Structure 1
Amino acid sequence: MFRGFYTVASGMLSQQRRTEMLTNNMSNANTPGFKADQSAMRAFPEMLLQRFEQQSIPTENNLRLPFNQMVGSINTGVYMQEAMPKFIQGDLRETNINTDVALVDINIPASAENGLPGTVFFTVREPGGDIRYSRNGNFTVDGQGFLTSASGMYILNDAGNPIQLSSDRFTISEDGQLTGENGETARLGIAFADNPQRLIKEGDGLYRTEDGAPLAAAFGAAGVQFTLQQGFVEGSNVDVSRTMTDMLTAYRAFEANQKVLQAYDKSMEKAANEVGRVG
């Protein structure tokens, strides 16, 4: 009976986590460059049950020998694996805003680790100096003339330095070459992740490497082909209709587990209050 409680509770917790993940995807459906999370349900490792008994041997001293009786395997519940971003290209949205830039994947080689394509990122720097990576090209120019992300992080050039301009009237070529109104030049620092699933996802569409080491430069990387489009942003790759359907499925699965839990609870209450009652 208690085993049933644990199994049902694990099902409810996994569906709750899945619902939270899908809700986050839905809330970021209009966030530029956002990559939807995906997950899979997996069963906990099975356990092999054995019953320990003793068998009497008809001898003068009534010898009893222990032995194991095989019962069988049992599943110990379900859990949701770690949510992993889905790094596929989002739709391009034309904004006609000069500071908006979109990364467009053309040919990205597959990783030898998992067979999935890698991806390219803008390189940004946090106020504390830490390097992060993002697909959100919704840029702006701050009061000091630095090109920054929407959250105020510096956009870095291919040398790892912030880009300073005299105004927000600049042009960006398809190969990332930036030319300012007064002749300033820089090249956007685009990084390439061979296996982006190894990156750690943070808030605001930011990613970082596990060990803090910088990613390789995308320009000149073998087989990597991409362009930049000024006046566009890459939209989220969230499939809204599919996400809504998955949310309803997760909610119904949660409700089904909840009803089973209530049935277990009533059975335990009846066993505690009625079984063994002397009439």
Structure 2
Amino acid sequence: MIRALYSSASAMAAQQQNLDIISNNIANMNTVAYKKVRSAFQDALYSAMDTRRRPEPVNLQIGNGVRVAATQRHFGYGKMQETGRPLDFAIEGEGFFVLLRPDGRLCYTRDGSFQISAEQVGERVVKRLVTSRGEYVLDLNGQPLEVDNMDAIAGRFGIAVFPNPEGLEAVGHNCFVETEASGQAVYGYPATVRQGFIELSNVDLAEEMAQLILAQRAYQLSARVLQSADEMERLANNLRE
């Protein structure tokens, strides 16, 4: 009976984590270029059931619940929205803008809402494209992209692609970093960049609401199992000879 308590409790914990992920998707519905995340569940370790017969059947096993084994990010493309703002950019198809972080590391994003930073370099003022957090946007040569002519920016971005983009690690602020699972970045991908557009998130509200209801129902059923197991344990403890 104790195993039933543990199994149902593990299911409730897993669905709570699933609910957290779904709520984060809904919260980022209007986040530019946000990519939705899904929970991947995995059954827990199996145990052999006791039996007096010999030899013991090899398939006489019982599970010990469930857990969230991984989170899978879906990099499907969001819809393009025209803004008319000359510093908004959206990538058609695969690829990421390459950013230079203040610590010298590279990160990658699909969020093309950029700004201009004017900096004094020697005796001249240089205008460079940056993110809202001041990260440099890199050009085809891996250098901070300088803005001289607004009409000639779209073809100068350094676009990177990955063998397995789902292996990228999210570090917040719509940015990702390379990992062993994602593979090494391939630079110079010939992507089409549209100026005056942004990419919306790929979150489908109807889909998220359906997933939310499923998670809620699974949680309720697991709680019912927990209550039933607790009641049966109470009855067993109250038996008298």
1:1-279 counterparts in 2 under 5 A?
1-51=1-51, 69-70=56-57, 72-105=60-93, 119-144=94-119, 145-165=127-147, 170-172=150-152, 176-177=154-155, 187-211=156-180, 215-219=185-189, 226-272=191-237, 274-276=238-240
User: Which amino acid is the alignment partner of residue 30 of structure 1?
Assistant: N
Q: 1:47 Cα shift?
A: 3.4
User: Which amino acid is the alignment partner of residue 215 of structure 1?
Assistant: A
Q: TM-score, normalised by structure 1?
A: 0.75
Partner Cα distance (1:126, 1:269) in 2: 59
Q: TM-score, normalised by structure 2?
A: 0.86
Partner Cα distance (2:152, 2:239) in 1: 79
Aligned partner of residue 150 in structure 1, secondary structure: coil
Partner Cα distance (2:207, 2:164) in 1: 26
User: Which amino acid is the alignment partner of residue 160 of structure 2?
Assistant: A
Deviations 1:195-250 (A, max 9, x none): 2122222212211111598511143xxxxx63110000011011111101111210
Select the structure of larger CA radius of gyration: 1
Q: 1:6 Cα shift?
A: 1.3
Identity of aligned residues (%): 28
Deviations 1:91-120 (A, max 9, x none): 000011110000001xxxxxxxxxxxxx31
User: Which ranges of structure 1 fall in alignment gaps of 5 or more residues?
Assistant: 54-66, 106-118, 178-186, 220-224
CA contact (8 A) 2:32 2:200 kept: yes
Backbone CA RMSD of aligned residues: 2.4
User: Which ranges of structure 2 fall in alignment gaps of 5 or more residues?
Assistant: 120-126
Aligned partner of residue 49 in structure 2, secondary structure: strand
CA contact (8 A) 2:42 2:66 kept: yes
Partner Cα distance (2:231, 2:118) in 1: 65
Partner Cα distance (1:68, 1:30) in 2: 60
Deviations 1:176-199 (A, max 9, x none): 42xxxxxxxxx2110011221222
Q: 1:172 Cα shift?
A: 4.1
Runs of 4+ deviating beyond 4 Å: 50-53, 211-214
Partner Cα distance (1:42, 1:82) in 2: 9
User: Which amino acid is the alignment partner of residue 213 of structure 2?
Assistant: L
Further displaced range: 122-131 or 38-47: 38-47
Identify the structure with the greater helix proportion.
2
Partner Cα distance (1:244, 1:172) in 2: 42
* Inter-CA distance 213–255: structure 2 relative to 1 (3 Å threshold): closer
Q: 1:149 Cα shift?
A: 1.6
Aligned partner of residue 202 in structure 1, secondary structure: strand
CA contact (8 A) 2:162 2:184 kept: no
Aligned partner of residue 39 in structure 1, secondary structure: strand
Partner Cα distance (1:247, 1:152) in 2: 36
Partner Cα distance (2:138, 2:90) in 1: 15
